[in-house]
Amino acid sequence: MSVVIENLSFTYMPGTPYEKRALQDITLSIREGEFVGLIGATGSGKSTLIQHINGLVKLQSGKLRVFGIDLSARKIDYKLLRKGIGMLFQYPEYQLFDETVLRDVMFGPKNFGMSEAHAYESAKRAIELAGLSFDEIKDRSPFELSGGQKRRVAIAGVLAYNPEILILDEPTAGLDPVGKRDILELITKLKGGAIKTIIMISHNMDEIAAYTDRIIVLDSSRLVYDLTPAELFEKKDELPALGLDLPTTVKIKNLLAEKGFHITEPALDIASLYAQIISKLGGRHE
Ligand code: ADP
């Protein structure tokens, strides 16, 4: 198991007039190899949950194990925990800081104690895994790159220290449609190879539906659903109350059903919706 959470509750500023319950009685497990979506309205508790997993907030009640590290233990090896988790915050390119791409990407491995030579090799591998040409980009300033390239450099900076779990907060925010698709395809390619487990926060239901294996839904500090995308997006009447939209493909499928054109299989991405419409039309298409 990558992450095991049992009956976790958390309150900010407990015992003060400002106390705020952020998580209530959360129980869930994430297996190695899963690509999990974490969704819910603003303020539902997503960031607080992620900050528990990477050890940025201290466990108050319940149990939490992250790849074998018990976060309720008296002594916690935070360095080992942080090395095992690649965290990409929103707009990660804002955290690029060094003079060259190579130095920026080597920062993480060096910070975790790798030798200069080992950090160089790790950075090289990570830059290539992120879909960039090492020789072309290594000596350039991160600040002169395109938006999509900068985001890839930020991803490389995390891949360079070989984390077990990659946590992404709105990884495609601010990119154009092609840039969004490229980043999601890169992330999908990393899964099962360089990265074992992926957790993605997103408000974009098209991306969540098309790319994740399983979706965890928070609402006002509680876990309300833990389902596959196909199961979750069947709940078209419940989702608006949770502040959640439906994926475009599911909206089209539902509109067609209202007109008497019923597609029975889940349609979680445009290719599968298209294939099903064509097959229902008897396969006649150009
Ligand atoms: P999300 O990531 O889903 O937007 P958060 O985990 O940020 O949700 O917030 C959960 C709840 O905790 C919200 O009510 C939010 O206002 C509150 N909260 C978040 N961070 C803090 C903080 N540092 N101090 C006090 N309350 C906070």
**Structural domain boundaries enclosing 260:** 247-286
Distance CA 65, CA 214 (A): 20
- Whether residue 64 lies inside any domain: the answer is no
Tell me the per-residue pLDDT of 148-172, one tens digit each, with 9 for 90 and over.
Answer: 999 999 999 999 999 999 999 999 9
Cα-to-centroid distance, 85 and ligand 1 (Å): 21
- Whether residue 285 lies inside any domain: the answer is yes
Count Cβ atoms within 10 A of the Cβ of residue 151 and give its class: 0-12 exposed, 13-18 middle, 19 or more buried: buried
Cα-to-centroid distance, 43 and ligand 1 (Å): 5
SS3 11: strand
For ligand 1, atom 15, the nearest C-alpha belongs to 43
- Whether residue 262 lies inside any domain: the answer is yes
- Whether residue 108 lies inside any domain: the answer is no
- Whether residue 61 lies inside any domain: the answer is no
- Whether residue 272 lies inside any domain: the answer is yes
- Whether residue 254 lies inside any domain: the answer is yes
* Residue-by-residue pLDDT tens, the chain, 286 positions: 899 999 999 999 999 999 999 999 999 999 999 999 999 999 999 999 999 999 999 999 999 999 999 999 989 999 999 999 999 999 999 889 899 999 999 999 999 999 999 999 999 999 999 999 999 999 999 999 998 999 999 999 999 999 999 999 999 999 999 999 999 999 999 987 889 999 999 999 999 999 999 999 999 999 999 999 999 999 989 999 999 999 999 999 999 999 999 998 999 999 999 999 999 988 765 5
- Whether residue 44 lies inside any domain: the answer is no
Cα-to-centroid distance, 23 and ligand 1 (Å): 9
Closest ligand 1 atom number to CA of residue 47: 2
Joined tokens for residue 152: 């890839």
Angle between helices 177-190 and 147-159 (to 10 degrees): 20
Domain count of the fold of the chain: 1
Cα-to-centroid distance, 261 and ligand 1 (Å): 43
* Whole-structure pTM value: 0.94
